[in-house]
């Protein structure tokens, strides 16, 4: 996947603290969700651009943030991206091959692990951050 970013002309960076506390999670499912978010960032961020993965501990969880420099999502799109089959830019997303269920599944998987998945975007043209939490064990 990291190779894919480079091949597309995206800079990939990560911030992974070494002293994170252990989380309670199904590791296969957690990796599935993270892979999904990175694949979306790769797909929906135009080159030249940047994608960053950042992990941090909060008082009761570890938070995983995938930030990209995509066109961004307005508040209406932010509230809808987790709905089944929703694609923010239909023609563009279809051309890129998305089916619109990845984030729906990711959110269900996280909720089953007592985690959560959210999106924030500072505004159109300013990128987006998809972040999820997993509870501390």
Cα 126 to Cα 45, 59, 64, 72: the distances in Å are 11, 29, 19, 6
Is residue 102 part of the contact set for Mg ion (CB under 5 A)? yes
Among residues 23, 98, 132, 134, the one that binds ligand ADP under rule CB under 6 A: 98
**CA pair distance 62, 137, nearest whole angstrom:** 10
Phi and psi at residue 94, in whole multiples of 5°? -70, -40
How far CA 62 is from CA of 40, 55, 74, in Å, comes to 21, 7, 26
Residue whose Cβ sits closest to Mg ion:
102
- Asked if 129 interacts with ligand ADP (CB under 6 A), we say no
Site for Mg ion in 56-95 (CB under 5 A): none
**Total residues at the site for ligand ADP (CB under 6 A)?**
21
Which residue, 72 or 135, is less far from ligand ADP as judged by CB?
72
* Contact by Cβ (8 Å): 25, 134: yes
Separation between Cα atoms, residue 103 and residue 123, nearest integer Å: 20
Q: How far is the CB of 91 from Mg ion (least distance, A)?
A: 16
Out of 88, 109, 110, 113, the only residue in the binding site for ligand ADP (CB under 6 A) is 88
Q: With CB under 5 A as the contact rule, which of the stretches 40-48, 58-66, 84-92, 119-127 interacts with Mg ion?
A: 40-48
């Amino acid at each position: 996947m990291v190779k894919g970013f480079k091949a597309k002309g995206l800079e990939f960076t990560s911030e992974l603290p070494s002293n994170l506390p252990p989380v309670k999670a199904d590791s296969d499912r957690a990796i599935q969700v993270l892979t999904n978010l990175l694949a979306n960032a790769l797909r929906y961020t135009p080159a030249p651009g940047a994608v960053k993965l950042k992990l941090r501990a909060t008082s009761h969880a570890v938070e995983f943030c995938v930030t990209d420099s995509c066109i961004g999502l307005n508040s209406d799109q932010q509230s809808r991206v987790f709905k089944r089959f929703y694609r923010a830019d239909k023609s563009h997303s279809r051309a890129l091959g998305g089916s619109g269920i990845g984030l729906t599944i990711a959110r269900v998987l996280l909720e089953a692990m007592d985690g959560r998945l959210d999106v924030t975007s500072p505004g159109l043209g300013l990128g987006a951050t998809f972040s999820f939490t997993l509870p501390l064990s």
